[in-house]
Structure 1
Amino acid sequence: MQTHELIAHPAFPPLAVSSVDARVLQRDSQWLRVRWRIENTGRLVLPPFVGRKRRDELWKTTCFEIFLKEPGTQSYTEWNLSPSEGWNAYDFEDYRDGIRERHVPRAPDCTMRPGKAFAVFDAAIPANVISEGAQEMGITCVLEEEGGVKSFWAMKHAKDQPDFHDPACFAARLAAPSAP
């Protein structure tokens, strides 16, 4: 699977983090698995553990996000995934419009392996809550470092302010699910 280099939005540079890469590890009939690798994480702030619970406003601190949409449609799904194991999923009818919580019977699995040199965040989303036609993908993250410094990482930034919902951020192609 392809590795995607994420870029910090120039208006919000990181304090110490030097790079973020994201990689789709697996998409099959059971799971969509994505891994983020963050370099120079000695000043990274992680939210406190809350367990696998739906939470709003996860983006206010370190959070990882996946945006999925089918080609030719305006609707899309946003997944917010936290090192705290908090999570949420929202469906949008159009760009930042018509939001509703997505029904997800089984919570995603989220695992953070922190370190001073680098950290790895793994997320596994059950395949039965992802449209098989989802092929356009945005992989992003918000990283909070000491002193409340936040950087916003995506494959592309098209505006003066970070906006992960911008269609330009859906810069990756997601392969169809592989056979079991």
Structure 2
Amino acid sequence: MQTHQLTCHPATPPLAVRSVEARVLSITDNWFRVRWRVDGVGKLVIPSFAGKGRQDELWKTTCFELFLQPRGGTAYCEFNLSPSERWAAYDFTGYREGMSEREFRREPDCTMRVGQAIAIFDAALPRAQVPDGKCAVGLAAVIEEEGGHLSYWALEHSGDRPDFHDASCFTAKVGAPTPA
């Protein structure tokens, strides 16, 4: 699957992070796997391990986000995934409308590995918890660096402020699962 270079919103330049890229690694009958790669981690703030569990407001620190919008509709799902292993999932009926918690029977698996120059964040979401069929995809990241400095990375940005919910951010595409 294709690797996507994320763009930092011009209103929120990073301190040391040079780039963020993301890709859907695989979609099988069991798992939807996604990877983010952060280059320039010298000042990166990584949330402390908190163990698996649902938690709101993960976007206040380093967090990786996935949006899935089934083709032909306005409804979409948002998944927030933290290096702390906390996660959140929401359904929307339209642009920032009709928000509700997305039910999860099995929690996502999240792992972050940090080296001297790069960090890799892998997430595996149970396939039964994500929409079926072809979807428009938004891949995004909130990156916190020392001093509480936040930068916002997405496939596209269209406004004066970062807005991962904007349909212009849903520019990647995914299809049906491939055999495991």
**Same fold by TM-score greater than 0.5:** yes
Q: Which runs of 5+ in 1 are unaligned?
A: none
TM-score, normalised relative to structure 2: 0.98
Once residues 169 and 157 of structure 1 are traced to their aligned partners in structure 2, the CA distance between those partners, rounded to angstroms, is 6
For residues 39-78 of structure 1, what are the structure 2 equivalents within 5 Å?
A: 39-78=39-78
Size of the aligned set, in residue pairs, is: 180
Match of 1:82 in 2: 82
Aligned Cα RMSD in Å? 0.8
Once residues 99 and 134 of structure 1 are traced to their aligned partners in structure 2, the CA distance between those partners, rounded to angstroms, is 22
TM-score, normalised relative to structure 1: 0.98
Deviation at 1:48, TM superposition (A): 1.3
Match of 2:109 in 1: 109
1:159 and 2:159 matched: yes
Once residues 134 and 161 of structure 1 are traced to their aligned partners in structure 2, the CA distance between those partners, rounded to angstroms, is 29
1:94 and 2:94 matched: yes
Check the 8 A contact 1:68/1:134 in 2, yes or no: no
The SS at the match of 1:168 is helix
Structure 1 residues 100 and 81, CA, compared in 2 at 3 Å: closer, same or farther? same
Match of 1:148 in 2: 148
Check the 8 A contact 2:133/2:175 in 1, yes or no: no
After the TM superposition, list the runs of 4 or more consecutive aligned residues in structure 1 that deviate by more than 3 angstroms.
none
Deviation at 1:131, TM superposition (A): 1.5
> Counterpart of 1:57 in structure 2: which amino acid?
E
Q: Which runs of 5+ in 2 are unaligned?
A: none
The SS at the match of 2:53 is coil
